[in-house]
Amino acid sequence: MRLTCLGRTFVTFFNIIFMFYSFSLIAVGVIAKIASDIGIIKGIEDQVKEFLNSTTVNIGTSNNGINDWSITEHLNGIALIFIISGCVLFCLSFCGCCGALCNSKTSMTIYAMIIIVMFVGEIIVVILLYAAPDTIQGAIKDVLFESLKNYEGLGNFDATTLGWMFFMKEMNCCGVNGYWDFSITHTDNWRKPGLVSTDLDAPIVCCVTEPPSPSDADTSCAREETLDIHTQGCFNAVWDVLMGNSMYTGIVFSVAFVFQLLLIIFSCILIAGNKEKSKLAGACRWIRILLNCFVCLAQHLE
């Protein structure tokens, strides 16, 4: 009985926290939709626009489209992911709370099954990350390469080109794996932007120092003989930020696994201990049951 009450309290308490967290995810998604109206993001966006405007003037090419561009064009997909994730998490957490507080065997069973599927899926992903990282990395890179093929360079400010310029400028990186990736682009416009007379081997944006003019001497930073560019690929730049510290990543994964395992165990205990029919159709006595659980938990800890 005490173990059942402990499990009910554990599942209820953390799912209430997850419900609030789901609201945060939805809020982040909404904020991403209006990112250009946020001071910090707008400041970064303005810095990149200033750099691109200055560079286009220096090499004698058009800057049409730069000032009309907004980072939100590239955040719509991310925003949608956050909003959907928040809604899914809210539904899952609500199901867990209903199952624990209302003694609903059906809700608790659905909740436990979803958590188990997520748990197994996360184990598979972690195994792939550490045992066969090329599988996941290759899939992500394929998407990035498809996007990079549409890169056109300075003077051609479509959304894809501006997105890559923004990213490379902020992350101090070049291409997916390196500057040589730009050989796959559908056009070679980026090799001779503006008044540049000799083919470039890397985009001007990859240069460590902004070229002051379109002369061969000033744009030599983007030629193989005298390269002075950011050599790290953008994929590795982001991967190092997210997964670079293996110790911290391992700790995060371990804590997440233990926590989910406890949720699964307690959910199974509640399912096994619930012999009554679902009470969702009746009035759910939320407050009384919750208080009884906390009292029972306090007695258990004494």
3-class SS of residue 89: helix
User: How far apart, in Å, are the Cα atoms of 226 and each of 184, 189, 217?
Assistant: 22, 21, 10
What's the chain's length in residues?
A: 302
Which range (8-12, 59-63, 184-188) has the least confidence?
A: 59-63
Q: What is the pLDDT of residues 21-64, one digit of tens each?
A: 899 988 888 877 766 566 666 777 777 778 888 888 887 777 77
User: CA 121, CA 92: separation in Å to the nearest integer?
Assistant: 16
Q: What is the pLDDT of residues 261-302, one digit of tens each?
A: 998 888 888 888 765 444 443 434 554 555 555 555 455 445
User: CA 284, CA 292: separation in Å to the nearest integer?
Assistant: 14
Joined together, the tokens standing for residue 104 give 């609903």
pLDDT at 281: 39
CB-CB contact of 155 with 189 (8 Å): yes
pLDDT at 173: 92
What's the average model confidence in pLDDT over 218-246? 85
Q: What is the pLDDT of residues 94-127, one digit of tens each?
A: 888 888 877 777 888 889 999 999 989 888 888 8
pLDDT at 37: 60
pLDDT at 67: 72
What's the average model confidence in pLDDT over 128-152? 87
Joined together, the tokens standing for residue 167 give 């990213």
What's this model's pTM, rounded to 2 decimal places? 0.67
Q: What is the pLDDT of residues 165-179, one digit of tens each?
A: 888 988 899 999 999
pLDDT at 280: 40
pLDDT at 157: 72
User: CA 108, CA 274: separation in Å to the nearest integer?
Assistant: 10
132 — phi, psi (to 5°)? -140, 65
User: CA 235, CA 175: separation in Å to the nearest integer?
Assistant: 8
pLDDT at 276: 47
